[in-house]
Amino acid sequence: IKKIASLKYNYTFSENEPISAFVTSFFDGVLLYANALNESIKDDPSILTRPINGTDMVRRMWNRSFTGITGNVTIDSNGDRISAYSLLDMNPTTGRFEIVAHFLHNRLEFEAKREIHWPGGRNQAPPDRPICGYDGSLCPDNSLPGYAILSIVLGTIVVIMVVCFYFSYRHYLAEAEINSMSWKVSLEDVVFRDATDHGIRGSFHSLVKQGSQTTLMSEDMGSINGDRQIFIPVGMYRKRKVAIKSIDLSKVQSVLSRRQMLELKRMKDLQHDHLVKFYGACLDQRRSFLLMEYCPKGSLQDILENDQFQLDWMFKLSLMHDIVRGMQFLHCSDIRSHGNLKSSNCVVDSRFVLKITDFGLHSLRRAHVDIENEIEHCNSHAYWKNLLWTAPELLRLENQRPPEGTQKADVYAFGIIVHEITTRQGPFYLGKFTPEKSPRELVKNKSKITLKPFRPELEPWENNDTKADVVRIIKRCWCEDPTDRPYFNTLRSMIRKFNKDNETGNIVDNLLKRMELYASNLEELVEERTQDYLEEKKKCEKLLYQLLPQSVAAQLISGQPVVAETFDQVTIYFSDIVGFTAISAESTPMQVVQFLNDLYTCFDSIVENFDVYKVETIGDAYMVVSGLPIRNGNFHAREIARLALALLEAVHNFRIHHRPKDRLKLRIGLHTGACVAGVVGMKMPRYCLFGDTVNTASRMESNGEALKIHISETTKLALDEFDTFVTTRRGLVPMKGKGEMLTYWLEGEIPKPNSLIST
């Protein structure tokens, strides 16, 4: 072709230019026609002068072979060219076409080279016609008779009707159960109790916020937490102690919607060992509330923040396991998700089993929020603290957050709770060396989208496999991408690996282990409390001994009645400060108080050296007695006389701070006689002396002189028995209510050597 194109048509093909198959086929076709035309002319030369017979020409081109430009050309009896063909099959392994057979045109044979890969796993070519033929005549007629078809149709209709009836009846029963309102509680069936009855207390953290589930705290936890516990409403319903959570009926529709009634029914039907039981709701116009299970041990947050409550790793893992089991059941129920999971919504019952509360009834809880105070509520510390357990993706939704939350958000909250359990430092603990942030700052930081999400501090714990596994669980739970967080089914399997005792043991064994730990912890608390009690008891006894005589205080402590007692001989000391009124008028109250405190501190230190009892101080008056409540024979006068001389000596050296130039002038009076002593009063009891001896001693003081000791005749006679005291006769002195009395001045004491009566 290339040569003819060049010689005859002056056309030159380029080096890589292909020759079209149509050109070669057209050349062979022209050559076939030329050969047939030559044969016709040879047989009948006159054909050139008349029209050519087309039928004859076509017949001459059939059943012949010749050599054309493409090689040997064969035309069959139908005028079709018979060519050699190669059959290509794609190898499924290499993906390339390979020759599997040849069709030889000269012998009309099919020569196979290898097996063909038939699709669908066949090992041979599909048949050239259907098995039953194109009209189905090759197969026998197995069609069902009419009555069989009718039976099948009727049976199918009956089955469909039964199924429809079954589901309709089930729907009817479900709707009837919803409308029956089995959750409804009558106000008359609830016995309300005073919150102060039997010391029933509630969780502090569970009551701080509005609209959260209220939990209860028993007396034992109340004693542990002290002022942290506050009283909450409780009551009795069908012989059960229940927690009462009030709701505002004015913010709820007068007629509950089907959705709300369905929520209440689902809550009523929900039963699990680790979920707080919902007993019902009272929607009375007079008072509306929810009745929840009574959990006497408080919330998990209270327990974790109580440093006196020891938790080992077995107990911590048990708490985590309880949360996982409860949440796993909740996620598989109709409730689907919690939406407000946090440590204050995990409460502990009397068996020390952790239960989850504050789930479900989102429409009623949402209605309970006071919309008018919502702005103020959003700016409160409690509002931002409650968001510390909320997942970041929900925080970014702001006002569009679904109240029921999401299952992945619950997993995030579980991670924060596990972090609380392990560190016991509260939610979102950032470490010792990180400055403390407010809840609002923490929430704002964790809601930001950053390369490194803002999360609490985690301790490495490389040397503890269990703790390291817990850290890995925490990190997976608070992943930024919710799809990377595990489901609670997975979490239960992970915790089961290092909490086998709790998973495989029966409930009695697990409860016994918990109670063992609880009892051990209580023993430590009792020992600490006993030691504190003994220390406080010593302080109280010491203070009581300072207010009352030791023998009288001992009688009061032992519960014995203190009966007034008569003493035949005692000596009473009275003293006051001459000019005290003038000093007080020229001094400030604080200066007077400081002055008296310094003076009586000095006197008290001296009194301790003698066998005397300080009765009282009133203003500048000082009263002391000897000979009671413990009798000391005839030594009472000597002890009081020596005390008076010692106090008078101390006054000479005493200086008033704010009036250093003034000299203190003490006036002392002593008298000896009989008196009666006893405790007077129930509140602020006082040990008082009664009798004429007290009045006479007071008169001796008031009729005395400054810096002198004025004694009565009976006191002088009592002192003469010791023959060591120096006295001077003063004479007859008129006494108010007594007439004239012979009195003396006590000048001092000259101890006699080798005296039998001496100190």
User: What are the pLDDT digits (tens) for 231-288?
Assistant: 468 899 988 999 888 887 666 666 788 888 888 999 999 999 999 999 999 988 888 8
At CA 333, angle to CA 330 and CA 339, rounded to 5?
Answer: 45
Mean pLDDT of 416-445: 88
Question: In the prediction, which pLDDT does 503 show?
Answer: 56
Task: Calculate what percentage of the chain has a pLDDT beyond 70.
Answer: 87
Give dist(CA 6, CA 651) in Å, integer: 154
Is pLDDT larger for residue 474 or for residue 432? 474
Could you read off the pLDDT of 704-741 as tens digits, one per residue? Answer: 888 899 999 999 999 988 888 999 998 888 888 788 88
Mean pLDDT of 375-380: 62
| Tokens linked to 393 | 């993706």
Question: In the prediction, which pLDDT does 430 show?
Answer: 85
Mean predicted lDDT score pLDDT of the chain: 82
Indicate the residue type of 407.
Q
Cα distances (angstroms) measured from residue 1 to each of 18, 66, 429, 464? 11, 18, 91, 88
* Residues paired with residue 202 on neighbouring β-strands, in sequence order: 216, 230
- Domains in the chain (CATH in brackets) are 2-83 (3.40.50.2300), 86-121 (no CATH), 187-504 (1.10.510.10), 548-749 (3.30.70.1230)
Does the pLDDT value for residue 667 go beyond 70? yes
Give dist(CA 320, CA 544) in Å, integer: 51
Instruction: Give 207's pLDDT tier (boundaries 50, 70, 90).
Output: very low
Cα distances (angstroms) measured from residue 325 to each of 67, 351, 401, 404, 620? 90, 17, 26, 19, 74
Question: In the prediction, which pLDDT does 251 show?
Answer: 62
Is pLDDT larger for residue 166 or for residue 63? 166
Instruction: Give 754's pLDDT tier (boundaries 50, 70, 90).
Output: low
Asked if 646 and 618 count as a contact pair (C-beta separation under 8 A), the reply is: no
Instruction: Give 208's pLDDT tier (boundaries 50, 70, 90).
Output: very low
The secondary element (H helix, E strand) that includes residue 734 is strand 725-735
Mean pLDDT of 331-346: 93
Phi and psi for 380 in degrees, rounded to 5? -85, 160
Mean pLDDT of 662-670: 88
Give dist(CA 529, CA 681) in Å, integer: 32
Question: In the prediction, which pLDDT does 357 show?
Answer: 92
Question: In the prediction, which pLDDT does 226 show?
Answer: 36
Does the pLDDT value for residue 222 go beyond 50? no
Asked if 611 and 633 count as a contact pair (C-beta separation under 8 A), the reply is: no
Helix residue spans in 62-212 (DSSP H):
146-180, 204-208
Asked if 443 and 454 count as a contact pair (C-beta separation under 8 A), the reply is: no
The secondary element (H helix, E strand) that includes residue 173 is helix 146-180
Is pLDDT larger for residue 378 or for residue 701? 701
Q: 293-317 b/e with 16+ CB inside 10 Å = b?
A: bbbbbbbbbbbbbbeebebeeebbb
Question: In the prediction, which pLDDT does 200 show?
Answer: 40
Give dist(CA 190, CA 287) in Å, integer: 11
Does the pLDDT value for residue 605 go beyond 80? yes
Is pLDDT larger for residue 231 or for residue 420? 420
Mean pLDDT of 603-607: 89
Mean pLDDT of 319-334: 94
Question: In the prediction, which pLDDT does 227 show?
Answer: 36
* Residues paired with residue 634 on neighbouring β-strands, in sequence order: none
Mean pLDDT of 11-37: 84
Does the pLDDT value for residue 220 go beyond 50? no
* Residues paired with residue 111 on neighbouring β-strands, in sequence order: 102
Could you read off the pLDDT of 131-167 as tens digits, one per residue? Answer: 888 887 788 777 778 888 899 999 999 999 999 999 9
Could you read off the pLDDT of 519-533 as tens digits, one per residue? Answer: 777 787 788 888 888
Instruction: Give 182's pLDDT tier (boundaries 50, 70, 90).
Output: confident
| Tokens linked to 703 | 């009729």
Q: Which of 614, 580, 574 is nearest to 703 (CA)?
A: 574
Instruction: Give 194's pLDDT tier (boundaries 50, 70, 90).
Output: low
The 85-90 sheet, strands edge to edge: 85-90, 97-104, 109-112
Helix (H, G, I), strand (E, B) or coil at 465: helix
The secondary element (H helix, E strand) that includes residue 632 is none
Give dist(CA 274, CA 263) in Å, integer: 19
Question: In the prediction, which pLDDT does 213 show?
Answer: 35
| Tokens linked to 565 | 């007692």
Q: Which of 486, 476, 469, 483 is nearest to 455 (CA)?
A: 476
Give dist(CA 301, CA 213) in Å, integer: 14
Is pLDDT larger for residue 553 or for residue 197? 553
Mean pLDDT of 475-488: 94
Give dist(CA 214, CA 202) in Å, integer: 7
Asked if 671 and 714 count as a contact pair (C-beta separation under 8 A), the reply is: yes
Q: Which of 693, 714, 706 is nearest to 665 (CA)?
A: 706
Helix (H, G, I), strand (E, B) or coil at 413: helix
CB neighbours of residue 395 within 10 Å: 16
Give dist(CA 667, CA 687) in Å, integer: 24
Could you read off the pLDDT of 86-101 as tens digits, one per residue? Answer: 889 988 888 889 888 8
| Tokens linked to 33 | 């026609």
DSSP conformational letter for 271: -
Half-sphere exposure of 121 (CA within 13 A, CB side): 0
Does the pLDDT value for residue 463 go beyond 80? no
Asked if 703 and 735 count as a contact pair (C-beta separation under 8 A), the reply is: yes
Asked if 438 and 428 count as a contact pair (C-beta separation under 8 A), the reply is: no
